[in-house]
Amino acid sequence: MVEKSAAAVQSAPSRPPVKTGKMESVTERINRIYESIARRAYELFEQEGRVDGNDVRHWLEAEQEFLFPVSLDLEENAGDIVVRAGVPGFNAGELEVNVEPRRVIITGKRESKKETKEGESQFSESGSEEIMRTLDLPCDVDAGKVSATLKEGVLSIFLPKAEPKAPAVSDTKAA
C-alpha cells in the first residue's frame, strides 16, 4: 500500500515548519541520537565496573544527557486532533514537525554560546539541547492540512482527521 503525503511548510516566525514525506532525514537523526545514547550508556556501564543489571538506569541517565524532556497533551474531537508539546526556550526556527498519516515526530535543536571577557582573559562556553518526540496517532490525519503554532513555549499542532476511505465495492452476482 503506497501512502501519499503532501508538504505543508509555513515559515512565519511563530510557526514551526510542518513537513511530510521527509522521513529519511528524520530516520538518520533518530539513528544518530540512538547511537549517541547507546555509546554513553555503555560508558556508564564501564565506569561502574561492568556490573550487569543496571542497563535500564544507564540508558535513562544517558538519554537525559542527550535529550531535553518534552511533555505532550493530545486532544481528539470529531474533526481533528490537537497535540500540545511543552518546548520552553525553543523558537520556531529550531523546531521541526514531521507528519505521517498516523504519526507525528517533533524534533528540535538549539545551540547556545556565551562569551565573557575579564581583563585579558576571555571565556567561551557553548552547548546544545535537542528534543525528539514521536507520537502515534489514534487515526489517520490529512497531512496536507496540518498546521502548527508556537506560543509561550507551547507548540500546538492541529491535525485534521482524514476522510474515511470507502470500502471497495465489487460486483457480485448471486448464482
The pTM for the full model equals 0.65
Per-residue pLDDT of the chain (175 residues; tens, 9 = 90+): 444 444 344 444 467 766 665 555 767 877 888 898 899 999 999 999 998 999 999 988 888 887 888 899 999 998 999 999 999 989 998 998 989 889 998 988 888 788 888 888 887 776 678 888 889 999 999 988 999 999 999 999 999 998 877 666 655 555 4
Q: How far is CA 31 from CA 21, 24, 26, in A?
A: 18, 10, 9
As a dihedral over the C-alpha atoms of residue 27, residue 130, residue 72, residue 135, rounded to 10 degrees, the angle is 0
Supply the pLDDT for residue 17: 65
The ranges assigned to domains in the chain are: 18-22+67-160
Distance CA 152, CA 35 (A): 32
pLDDT score recorded for residue 72: 93
**What is the pLDDT, as a whole number, of residue 68?**
80
pLDDT at 172 (0 to 100): 54
- Which residue is it, cell 507525528? 104
Annotation: CATH topology of 18-22+67-160: Immunoglobulin-like (2.60.40)
What's the confidence (pLDDT) of residue 113?
80
